[in-house]
A and B are shown apart, each in its own frame.
Chain A
Amino acid sequence: MKITNQIKDTTIIITLDGELDASSSVMLDEALSDPEIMTYSKILVDCKDLNYISSAGLGVFISHLQRFEDAQIKLIFYNMQDKVRNVFEILGLDLLMTIVSDYEEAMTIADE
């Protein structure tokens, strides 16, 4: 699992590359727990190269979502592979989180 960050003004783009399971999700949790992340107004998560997610990976996003919402930070997923999106859908998380098709749409939503 490789996690890279890119900063664009008040937006942080987090790119996930690899498989997010019970072992690797610890890295993501650390990245989202970094106090600096609360200084951005938008967190965009690029899922193009996210090939797998298990409940541990979903759990990391679930556990941070409310904190971001309370701080009015938008969390937006984009470029998600169908098989990964399906895992969000099985639990109904696609209705509770913002998942859009591509970067342009993510930026449009983030600017609303």
Chain B
Amino acid sequence: MNNKITVSCTKKNLKQIRDFVTEYLAGYKLTDILMNQIVLAVDEICANLIIHANHEDPSKNISLAITEKAGMLKFEIIDNGVAFRRSEYREPNIEEHIRIGKKGGVGIALVNRIMDRVEFESNTRQNTCLLYKKIK
């Protein structure tokens, strides 16, 4: 089964990424809700990388590889943009977002709540985000 996809950094390609994840997971007989959660978490990371790390530059790419071992799904998302600084991340206060009319900043909170493990690694060549989800 094809487990890797590379797309250029435009928001229009998010649909292609979601379809790829959905197709890969089709054989695992997940519930609608769990399937949607996993697709969402990957979409959120890819959207952040496309928009914030790579400034929607279509000459740049992100790639996603999915593997499964002993009931643990692993999503490896690689890009060459600006690295995510986890130390600067703060969990959002949604009520405050509503009060001030803030539009963004809740995507990573979704990812953290959906996935079992979320890791970010960066070196001089590339950034890697690893998402893990136990499904069995």
A binds B: yes
- CB contact list, A67-107 vs B, under 8 A: 67, 82-84, 86-87, 90-93, 96
Q: A62-B94, A86-B33 are contacts. A55–B102 as well, Cβ < 8 Å?
A: no
Residue contact A62 to B103, C-beta cutoff 8 Å: yes
Residue contact B36 to A86, C-beta cutoff 8 Å: yes
A65 within 8 A of B: yes
* Most B CB within 10 A of own CB, among A64, A67, A86, A92: A86
Number of residues on chain A facing chain B (CB within 8 A): 28
* Most B CB within 10 A of own CB, among A21, A63, A92: A21
Residue contact B94 to A66, C-beta cutoff 8 Å: no
Residue contact B36 to A52, C-beta cutoff 8 Å: yes
Number of residues on chain B facing chain A (CB within 8 A): 34
Supplied contacts A19-B15, A60-B103, A67-B101, 20 more A-B pairs, CB within 8 Å: A22-B11, A52-B36, A54-B14, A55-B104, A56-B104, A56-B107, A59-B106, A62-B94, A62-B98, A62-B103, A64-B101, A82-B32, A82-B33, A83-B36, A86-B37, A87-B37, A90-B113, A91-B110, A91-B113, A96-B95
Question: Which of B43-51, B59-67, B77-85 binds A?
Answer: B43-51
* Residue numbers in A under 8 Å from B51 (CB-CB): 22
A23 within 8 A of B: yes
Q: A56-B47, A62-B97 are contacts. A90–B104 as well, Cβ < 8 Å?
A: no
Complex: chain B residue closest to A82, CB-CB: B33
Residue contact B94 to A93, C-beta cutoff 8 Å: yes
A73 to B95, CA, bound (A): 18
